[in-house]
Structure 1
């Protein structure tokens, strides 16, 4: 029998291997996007189910098997309810818009004239002239294709989730077979718990802050009188899980539709200023206090992760970009050959901050956990 190949152990060679592995992995996730996208969403839902199950077990007297069933039902119903609410809200929005089309055209013409005068343009085009230059059929075809993709993707997500739930029973036996040594098994579990804790912390922060933002935004939109306030509130909650772009959509889209609905610019201005204040308070006062060390990621990395996963997996990749960055940092920090990458991903150079959150800050920095020499 041939002896196993001996890999070089120098730092340069090890880092080169890590870089090559990262590039190869990026190419793989790009070419296998159709397969991996629903799988990633299913894993994400599985983490949500597991976290909700443990929350029910710790906070209620419900037995373990009933807690798991309740968590599964809640997450699946929430998943399909989100799709249904967005679809029905969009249909209702277009129905109402079609009923007031006669009033929208002149209002759009007035907005275009006012904006043109600000830039010194006297002969402004009308809304109908601008629409005539657009290829409406191509946009409708893209929209129909995206809607079909959402339905098909949802079915595959549920199939993957069912198989993942069925395979959970043998996970512990697989772990024992992969890591016969108790020490190595404990280290693997530690990595798993760190990854799971980071994703669950991200979900918790985004959910709580999203509810607070939506409550304040709904009150503001109802006070102004914006149509479909409930629909826009739910859209704000969903896009809140997309970093950077979510805040832009939440703060700009409702005021834009207020421009068309109202004859005056004041309701749109009130919405714009009010939503920006809400998002500023949430992003600078509430979220940083809640996050703690759960999302110790550099903001540039968050932006690059959003761009990369959005390019690779589309909208699903945008939703999962931050959790995937948290997972990558936790895994890379476990190995000496890749720990430098985890340090670059972290916000303060301490990729182990999440795992050591219970220790005093000074002690964490003096005695950080040591990565494994692998």
Structure 2
């Protein structure tokens, strides 16, 4: 009876702690989101630096500061190219907004005629009460403000990344001084190593897959003459970081634009099928082949984490859901009291995948 009461008390305390932590994460999302993104950027920088070391002959001779410098320059170049692409496309959208607004009205009218609703009150209300009062130019202002906000967030992330890279030099010494017991220090290093290996592998391989998907999608859209094909390719590649929903939106957005631009059902359907086929092939064959079981997460847990972190942090939370959940599973697996939770969250119940060492015999606690 006492043991049951103790377990119930532990569950109640755990639930209360989870609610408190969730509330703090929700309230402080403006602070936590840039921090988490900066940690992921550091993982990418370190991964690129290690990749430079793997280059035959030249790589091992490159000094560490130069490797990290080249990694930072590479990431800065990619970000600058992405920002330039977005800014240029926003400018083109401003110029073409009146033309595409007329095309949008025309497509809706064609759809109404197809369904025999040309003279229906619903079509009139749609045209007079909504569409004629909405101007695409009016939507550009909030979009520009959003881009500006992203730019400010990138500056904050860059500042965090700089200090994290500086801290990396003394991290090993800090870990050694955390405890006088070498076993505790070794255990902490095991957890950090496991997090570094899995998270770094996921980010590197996932980025490669997304680049391939973006290039393939760009080739398809450019072949059809779709406006802003490069921009849509970047959107597809970025959205592919979001499990399940990202693939759907990555097809929906360019196809919706194709409906407005072309209006030809055959062209739109063909583009839809090609983009869907690219998502299906890469997501179901290339992705599992390269990713393997690096994160060892249950599909249900991935979907649930996407919902939870998306609810807490919005769109940034959707992008961060998988890495954060993977880290959580790794930490939970290192303690006997929480290990069953990690087993339930894993893909197949095997927590030894990607582990750097076996769980200590006395792991856990009261």
TM-score tier (shorter):
0.7 to 0.9
Q: 1:256 to 1:293 in 2, by over 3 A?
A: same
The alpha carbon displacement at 1:263 in A equals: 3.7
Is 1:18–1:338's contact at 8 Å kept on the other side of the alignment? Answer: no
1:287-366 aligned within 5 A: 287-355=287-355
Distance 2:362 2:154 in 1: 38
Matches within 5 A, 1:35-184: 35-59=31-55, 60-61=59-60, 62-99=62-99, 101-114=101-114, 116-117=115-116, 124-125=123-124, 127=127, 129-132=129-132, 142-143=142-143, 145-184=145-184
CA distance in 2 between counterparts of 1:272 and 1:113 reads 23
Q: Could you tell me how far 1:274 is from its partner in structure 2?
A: 1.0
Q: Counterpart of 2:3?
A: none
Query: Which residue does 1:23 correspond to in 2?
Result: 19
- The TM-score, its normalising length taken from structure 2, stands at 0.86
Matched residue, 1:274: 274
- Conservation of the 8 A alpha-carbon contact between 1:105 and 1:128: no
Query: Which range is displaced more, 144-153 or 191-200?
Result: 144-153
Contact kept? 1:330, 1:342, Cα under 8 Å: yes
CA deviation vs aligned residue, 1:166-186 (integer Å, no higher than 9, x gap): 222221221111133322222
TM-superposition CA deviations, 1:338-372 (whole Å, max 9, x none): 11221222111223322279xxxxxxxxx988682
8 Å Cα contact 1:333/1:339 also seen in 2: yes
Q: C-alpha offsets along residues 210-237 of structure 1, whole Å, 9 cap, x if unaligned?
A: 1222222122212222112111111111
Change (3 A) 1:235 1:161: same
CA contact (8 A) 2:239 2:246 kept: yes
Matched, 1:373 2:353: no
- Change in CA separation of 1:84 and 1:18 when aligned onto 2, cut-off 3 Å: farther
State the Cα RMSD in Å: 3.0
Deviation at 1:101, TM superposition (A): 4.6
Secondary structure of the 1:309 match is: helix
Answer whether contact 2:217 2:233 (CA < 8 A) is retained: yes
Change (3 A) 1:237 1:370: farther
2-structure distance, mates of 1:340, 1:80:
45
Rounded Cα–Cα distance in structure 1 between residues aligned with 2:240 and 2:112: 30
Q: CA deviation at 1:129?
A: 4.3
CA distance in structure 1 between the partners assigned to 2:260 and 2:360 by the alignment: 57
Q: Name whichever of 255-264 and 139-148 sits farther off.
A: 139-148
Note closer, same or farther for the CA distance 1:136–1:85 as it changes in structure 2 (3 Å cut).
Answer: closer
- Counterpart-to-counterpart distance in 1, 2:186 and 2:105: 66
Classify the secondary structure of the residue corresponding to 2:177: helix
Number of the residue aligned with 1:7: none
Whether the 8 Å contact between 1:213 and 1:278 is mirrored in structure 2 is yes
- 1:283-319 CA-to-partner distances (Å, cap 9, x unmatched) read 2111112221212111121112112222222222111
Residues 141/111 of structure 1: CA separation in 2 closer, same or farther (3 Å cut): same
Distance 2:255 2:361 in 1: 50
Q: Deviations over 1:109-128 (max 9, x none)?
A: 213433x4499969634545
Encode CA deviations 1:39-64: one digit per residue, 9 max, x unaligned: 11111111111111122123223222
Shift in alpha-carbon separation, 1:139–1:261, aligned structure 2, 3 A: closer
Measure, in 2, the Cα distance between the counterparts of 1:291 and 1:321: 17
- Which stretch of structure 1 is more off in the superposition, 139-148 or 184-193? 139-148
Does the 8 A contact of 1:108 with 1:260 survive in 2? Answer: no
Query: The residue matched to 1:124 in structure 2 has which SS?
Result: helix
Report the CA distance between 1:17 and its aligned residue: 4.4
Distance between the aligned counterparts of 1:75 and 1:20, measured in 2?
Answer: 41
Q: Which of 28, 33, 38 is the matching residue for 1:32? A: 28
Moved more, 145-154 or 205-214: 145-154
- CA shift, 1:337, in A, is 1.6
CA distance in 2, matches of 1:119, 1:107: 12
8 A Cα contact 1:18 1:337, kept in partner: no
